[in-house]
C-alpha cells in the first residue's frame, strides 16, 4: 500500500538508480507527455513529499524541471538493470520509461504524471500539509491544521493530506488503535492531538528502508498490523472481533472495546 513510507522508499530507489545520470532515452505513454523527449537530460535527484514523487531534472539548456507522479493505490516505480526483463507489472500498465547508461526506471500505473519547472513545484504539491518524513517535518503545524477543522472525524482528518502528508489508510487505522481513539471521534474531542501526530510520524519512520509495513514490530505475515485488514479477527489486546466499516470514502478498521466512542455518532455536537 503506497503510503508515505513506501513513496519515500521509492524515491530512494530512483535516486540510487538515476541521480547524476544523463538520460539516454525516455518513453512517455500518457497523452499529455506523449511528445516529450528527455534524452540528454540529467537527473539531479529524486525526492518524496507526502505521497508525491518528485524527480528533479536538468534540461539540455540547464533549466530545472520536475517530473511529478503520484502512486495512489496501485502505482509503482521500478529500477531495472539495462537488459533486465521488466517483470514487476504487466506492460500495458507502463506510463513512462527512463533509460540511463546504468539503469532503466519504469513507472507503472502512475497518476498525475506531469513535467513542470522546478521553480513551480509548489503548484504541484504546495497544498500539502507538513510531510511526516520530510526534513522540514513540523508537528506543531500539523496539529494546528488538524485543529482548524474541529468537527471533522479524526479518521478522515488524518487522511486529508492538506493537514499532514504521508498517512494512508493503514497508518490511520493503526495509530488510532494504538491511541485508543475511535475513528469517528471529532477532532475537537481527541485528547492529545500532538501525541497522535507524533506516533503517526514514528510509525512511518520505522518502516523507512523496507517494503514490509509493520506497526506491531513483527514482520511475520499476518502479524504486521493490529486492526488494519483484520476484520472479524480477535483484537490482539482484548480479543474482541475487529470491525470494518465505511468512514467517508474509505473503509476503516477498529476495535470497539479498545477504541470506545467518546461522542455518540451523528449527534452534531
Just list the catalytic residues: 2-3, 51, 250
CB atoms within 10 A of CB 232: 8
CB of 199 to Zn ion, least distance (A): 17
Query: 51 or 230: whose CB is closer to Zn ion?
Result: 230
User: In the complex, what is the shortest distance from the CB of residue 187 to Zn ion, in angstroms, rounded to a whole number?
Assistant: 23
Distance CA 43, CA 101 (A): 12
> Please, which residue, 5 or 174, has the CB nearer to Zn ion?
174
CA 155 to each of CA 53, 60, 186: distance values in angstroms, whole numbers, following the listed order: 25, 46, 9
- Whole-Å CA distances, 240 to 175, 232, 233: 18, 8, 8
Q: Which helix (H) or strand (E) holds 154?
A: helix 154-157
What is the binding site for Zn ion (CB under 5 A)? 235, 237-238, 240, 255, 257-258
CB of 241 to Zn ion, least distance (A): 9
Helix (H, G, I), strand (E, B) or coil at 7: helix
Q: Is the dihedral of CA 205, 151, 161, 170 positive or negative?
A: positive
The nearer residue to Zn ion, 140 or 238, going by C-beta atoms, is 238
Residue nearest to Zn ion (CB): 235
Packing angle of the helix pair 193-206, 139-147 (nearest 10 deg): 130
Shortest distance (Å) from residue 257 CB to Zn ion: 5
Altogether, the residues listed in the chain come to a count of 269
Q: What is the chain's alpha carbon radius of gyration, rounded to the nearest angstrom?
A: 20
**Nearest-approach distance from CB 244 to Zn ion, in angstroms:** 14
Helix, strand or coil, per DSSP, at residue 47: strand
193 vs 258 by CB, closer to Zn ion: 258
Task: State which residue, 132 or 227, has the beta carbon closest to Zn ion.
Answer: 227
Amino acid at each position: 500500500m503506497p503510503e508515505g513510507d513506501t513513496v519515500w522508499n521509492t524515491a530512494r530507489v530512483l535516486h540510487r538508480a538515476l541521480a547524476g545520470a544523463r538520460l539516454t532515452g525516455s518513453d512517455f505513454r500518457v497523452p499529455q507527455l506523449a511528445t516529450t523527449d528527455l534524452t540528454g537530460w540529467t537527473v539531479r535527484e529524486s525526492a518524496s513529499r507526502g505521497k508525491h514523487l518528485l524527480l528533479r531534472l536538468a534540461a539540455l539548456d540547464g533549466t530545472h524541471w520536475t517530473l511529478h507522479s503520484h502512486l495512489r493505490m496501485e502505482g509503482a516505480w521500478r529500477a531495472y538493470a539495462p537488459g533486465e526483463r521488466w517483470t514487476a507489472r504487466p506492460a500495458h500498465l507502463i506510463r513512462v520509461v527512463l533509460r540511463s547508461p546504468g539503469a532503466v526506471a519504469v513507472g507503472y500505473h502512475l497518476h498525475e504524471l506531469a513535467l513542470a519547472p522546478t521553480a513551480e513545484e509548489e503548484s504541484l504539491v504546495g497544498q500539502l500539509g507538513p510531510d511526516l518524513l520530510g526534513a522540514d517535518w513540523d508537528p506543531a503545524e500539523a496539529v494546528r491544521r488538524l485543529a482548524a477543522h474541529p468537527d471533522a472525524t479524526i479518521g478522515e482528518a488524518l487522511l486529508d493530506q492538506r493537514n499532514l502528508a504521508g498517512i494512508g489508510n493503514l497508518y490511520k487505522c493503526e495509530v488510532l488503535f494504538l491511541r485508543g481513539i475511535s475513528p469517528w471521534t471529532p477532532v475537537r474531542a481527541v485528547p492529545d492531538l500532538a501525541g497522535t501526530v507524533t506516533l503517526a510520524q514514528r510509525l512511518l519512520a520505522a518502516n523507512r528502508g523496507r517494503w514490509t509495513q509493520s506497526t506491531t514490530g513483527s514482520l511475520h505475515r499476518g502479524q504486521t498490523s493490529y486492526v488494519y485488514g483484520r476484520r472479524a479477527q480477535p483484537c490482539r489486546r482484548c480479543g474482541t472481533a475487529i470491525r470494518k466499516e465505511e468512514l467517508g470514502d474509505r473503509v476503516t478498521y477498529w476495535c470497539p472495546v479498545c477504541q470506545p466512542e467518546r461522542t455518540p455518532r451523528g449527534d452534531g455536537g
